[in-house]
Structure formats: C-alpha cells, structure tokens
C-alpha cells in the first residue's frame, strides 16, 4: 500500500528557533498534501492544503507566515514552524492524496516540543 513518511518523528527546540518537518510519499506521487495539528486529547485540526507547484491554501485562523509550507516536488512537502513558541508544541501530521484521487494516506506524525 501507499506509504507516507515524516521526518523527524520528534523534535525538541528552543523558543524562537525555526523547525522544518518533511512529509514524503514513498511509492506514489502526490499532487496534494495536507497538514494537520493535534493537541493532546483533541482531534486533528486541518491547517492547510498543499498543492505541488503552487501556494498552499490555509484554513481560517492559521497564520501562513508562521507555518510556511512548500510543496516543491510530487513526493515532498515541508512545513516550517517559524519562531516557534511553547504554544506551538503539538503533534503535526501530514497526509497525501493517493493516485486514485479519493484516497488519503497519513504519515506517522511529528511531535514538536518547544522549550
């Protein structure tokens, strides 16, 4: 089956630094990828939709200048949390739309802790 990977699986950083999270579709090409954030004991919240070669579409309330998304190739999307603060600590999950068009495959998530 289709596999989506994320790197790193966890990261700890100091407040004020920037962190980049990678999302890769390993055995298929994904023109569309999605980024979610999940706080403890809460559901996944869609942050943005990333389309290869174009600007991401952000959900209402998500700061596009803080959460930079780049989808430069058909197998890679990156999320950069700029000037991270403790309140940005969360579980970040990406997913990729599958080749059939109606499937969505999720990565294992990246746990970000900002000290």
Rounded alpha-carbon distances, angstroms, from residue 76 to 12, 54, 111, 114: 22, 13, 19, 24
What is the rounded distance in angstroms from the CA atom of residue 105 to the CA atom of residue 54?
21
Cα–Cα nearest to 87, from 23, 40, 44, 20: 40
Residues in the interface with another protein (CB under 8 A) total 24
In angstroms, what is the minimal distance from the CB of 60 to another protein? 12
Nearer to another protein, 86 or 101 (CB): 101
Among 21, 30, 33, 34, binds another protein (CB under 8 A): 34
Q: Going residue by residue from 36 to 75, which x/- string records binding to another protein, judged by CB under 8 A?
A: x------xxxx--x--------------------------
Contact predicate 11/112, CB 8 Å:
yes
Which residues sit at the interface with another protein, rule CB under 8 A? 4, 6, 34, 36, 43-46, 49, 91, 93, 95, 97, 100-109, 111
């Amino acid at each position: 089956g289709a596999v989506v990977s994320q790197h790193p699986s966890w990261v700890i950083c100091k407040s004020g630094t920037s962190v980049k999270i990678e999302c890769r579709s390993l055995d298929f090409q994904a023109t569309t990828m999605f980024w979610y954030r999940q706080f403890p004991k809460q559901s996944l919240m869609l942050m943005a939709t990333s389309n290869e070669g174009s600007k991401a579409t952000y959900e209402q309330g998500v700061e596009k200048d803080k959460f930079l998304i780049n989808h430069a190739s058909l197998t890679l999307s990156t999320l950069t949390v700029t000037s991270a603060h403790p309140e940005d600590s969360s579980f970040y999950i990406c997913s990729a739309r599958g080749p059939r068009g109606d499937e969505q495959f999720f990565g294992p998530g990246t746990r970000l802790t900002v000290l």
